[in-house]
Amino acid sequence: MRIVECVPNFSEGRRKEVIDKIVEPFRNGKGFSLLDHRADENHNRLVVSLAGDPEAIMDALMTSAGVAFSLIDMNAHTGAHPRVGALDVVPFTPLRGVTMEECVDIAREFGKRLNEKYEVPVYFYEEAATRPERKNLENVRKGQYEGLKKAINEPERLPDVGQARLHPTAGATVVGARKFLVAFNVNLGTTRIEVAKEIAKSIRFSGGGLAHVKAIGLALEDKGMVQVSVNIVDHEKDPLYRVLELVRMEASRWGVPVVETEIYGMVPASAIYQSAARYLQVADFEPEQIIELRLLEMAGDRS
Amino acid sequence: MRIVECVPNFSEGRRKEVIDKIVEPFRNGKGFSLLDHRADENHNRLVVSLAGDPEAIMDALMTSAGVAFSLIDMNAHTGAHPRVGALDVVPFTPLRGVTMEECVDIAREFGKRLNEKYEVPVYFYEEAATRPERKNLENVRKGQYEGLKKAINEPERLPDVGQARLHPTAGATVVGARKFLVAFNVNLGTTRIEVAKEIAKSIRFSGGGLAHVKAIGLALEDKGMVQVSVNIVDHEKDPLYRVLELVRMEASRWGVPVVETEIYGMVPASAIYQSAARYLQVADFEPEQIIELRLLEMAGDRS
């Protein structure tokens, strides 16, 4: 059983009928499952979560991309989220029976297929990057659709696949391979936004904190709280419990309590049992002890 | 997808070739999986863990029971663990897509089939019990094989299925339906066995403690520690974190620390994410957020 997660991001978060048509090829798919999809009007963006066999996912993605390319015109697109194309980003993540190296191969193959069929230039990022500076998605998307249209001829902005011009309406697509990203928010019992910002800064990598953590501080006005909003880019190396306890410790400087937390969206079982085993002080916990993980193996062996 | 767990206990823990033959019908089964099997020489007992489709499990159990009945003579059996038959106990536990009521029906049906084919008298226990005093397995097994042989004619000891005589070599079988039992041990940093015994007494139901907890205190001589050995018979009502924190609190009276814990054998995912969510203070955690549980649903939908 080879299972990857794939989270394509499309530049459409407002037109319901367009969103439905883009999502349609992912419904009732064979060999993979539509785990989640959510559109944000403010971002004007659709985020889809798929899991299953990489080949099956690629096939459905090709169909869905065709729909998106025919219905989205990047020249008319506005939204709060940075983007360079109608199918903006496609990250592949190893889940079971697939290595990161294989996900890099999958990303490269998908990029080639996408360009061959639709003539959309493709960039590779994170583990699939061909140049060090392209590991970081923000570097690839610099200037966004409008900026890249002009800059694409510059040697350092040339696409990895395809010619040096954006697709006239679909822009470009950034395809990559990366570890599973866990979104974990910690809500604090204060309305002082500077407390959340200070804590976010102290726990994130760029501020001297944990190596695989990105974080920002936000106000939650309707709740009368503030939030440290965290992305854990490698939850095996920086587990949830460590993030929480570090936030709690930093918050104690201001006498501010952790009121509650939120795991946003999908999470791998390992992120959960890792923290459970730590807090429960379990000496040698093995994932093979979890019945459902064994049943999943069974199901895989049979298919 | 209907999934039950079934943990048949056989009265053979010493003869390797007999154990192999009993386990054989559970290997490479269709529709279910052999999760675990462990034989204990001192107990002279074999404990098998199966999970999968109830019908498939029942069929394999019928075959395996026939093997056990032909190779085990209860008149020659000795061991530390209480027992009344060659296939001693067969509990069914609901895991996915099956209710406890259905597990009671499964237990009753299996009891009937077993008696029809092998003429072994059958008793029902726990949720499948037909009389209140038979809910408790210890009452059903009172006097063990040797005692029941004489007492089986007494009105309160009559079997639920079959005539009032033990099978001449296979004895009787006790079949039931119960919730998943989690075995959770807490090791304490002291060699004072009375501390473990006092704590076990104070946390278990019979001593005034948690409603769904059984516990005893043991010495771990090779480790220089003592252990509170806990069976949680309803982990949804008495979660692991509550047991651990109660032990920790009681242990603090003696200034004794919790050194480590042990989850023994199989555990359902819910027991893990329940404790993870509690310690991580997650406000609204849904099992649907765990990728592997979604993949398992997918796999079930397809089969």
pLDDT band of residue A1 (cuts 50, 70, 90) is: confident
Q: Which of B2, B263, B264, B285 to mutate to test the interface with A (most CBs of A within 10 A)?
A: B263
Q: ipTM of the predicted structure?
A: 0.82
If asked whether residues A167 and A202 sit together in one domain, one would say no
Tell me whether A76 touches chain B (CB under 8 Å). Answer: no
If asked whether residues B61 and B147 sit together in one domain, one would say yes
If asked whether residues A166 and A227 sit together in one domain, one would say no
Inside any domain, residue B297: no
If asked whether residues B208 and B168 sit together in one domain, one would say no
The per-residue pLDDT for range A192-241, each reduced to its tens digit, is 999 999 999 999 999 999 999 999 999 988 889 999 999 999 999 999 99
If asked whether residues A259 and A155 sit together in one domain, one would say no
- Whether pTM > 0.90 for this model: the answer is no
Domain extent for A198? 182-292
* Mean pLDDT to the nearest integer, B159-169: 97
If asked whether residues A200 and A72 sit together in one domain, one would say no
Inside any domain, residue A139: yes
Question: What CATH number does residue A227 fall under?
Answer: 3.30.70.670
If asked whether residues A92 and A128 sit together in one domain, one would say yes
Q: What is residue A295's predicted lDDT score, i.e. its pLDDT? A: 85
Q: What H or E segment, with its residue span, contains residue A226?
A: strand A225-232
Q: What are phi and psi for residue B130, nearest 5 degrees?
A: -100, -10
Task: Answer for the pair B113, B90: CB distance below 8 angstroms, yes or no.
Answer: no
If asked whether residues A105 and A232 sit together in one domain, one would say no
- Retrieve residue A216's tokens: 């920002």
Q: Do A294 and B269 touch (CB under 8 A)?
A: no
Q: Which of A149, A177, A205 is the last residue of a domain?
A: A177
Q: Which of A295, A296, A303 to mutate to test the interface with B (most CBs of B within 10 A)?
A: A295
If asked whether residues B76 and B143 sit together in one domain, one would say yes
Whether the predicted pLDDT of A301 surpasses 70: no
Tell me whether A98 touches chain B (CB under 8 Å). Answer: no
Which residue of A265, A281, A296 is in closest CB contact with B295?
A: A296
Question: A6-35: b or e for each residue (b if 16 or more CB lie within 10 Å)?
Answer: bbbbbbbbbeeebbebbbebbeebebbbbb
Active-site amino acid positions of A:
81
The per-residue pLDDT for range B110-158, each reduced to its tens digit, is 999 999 999 999 999 999 999 999 999 989 999 999 999 999 999 999 9
Inside any domain, residue B127: yes
Distance in angstroms (rounded) separating the CA atoms of residues A109 and A131: 17
Q: What is residue A302's predicted lDDT score, i.e. its pLDDT? A: 57
Distance in angstroms (rounded) separating the CA atoms of residues A45 and A77: 10
Inside any domain, residue A302: no
Residue A142 DSSP SS3: coil
Inside any domain, residue B94: yes
Distance in angstroms (rounded) separating the CA atoms of residues B290 and B293: 6
Q: What H or E segment, with its residue span, contains residue A147?
A: helix A144-151
* DSSP single-letter state for residue A43: T
Q: How many domains does chain B have?
A: 2
Closest CA to B149 of B170, B135, B174, B179: B170
Closest CA to A96 of B298, B280, B49: B298
Q: What H or E segment, with its residue span, contains residue B40?
A: strand B32-40
Q: Which of A113, A147, A177 is the last residue of a domain?
A: A177
> Is B43 one of the annotated active-site residues of the chain?
no
If asked whether residues B123 and B224 sit together in one domain, one would say no
If asked whether residues A14 and A130 sit together in one domain, one would say yes
Question: What CATH number does residue B10 fall under?
Answer: 3.30.990.10
If asked whether residues B159 and B100 sit together in one domain, one would say yes
In whole numbers, what is the pLDDT of chain A averaged over residues? 95
pLDDT band of residue B302 (cuts 50, 70, 90) is: low
Q: Which of A127, A162, A177 is the last residue of a domain?
A: A177
Chain B residues close to A251, C-beta within 8 Å? none
More confident residue, B294 or A71: A71
More confident residue, A275 or A97: A275
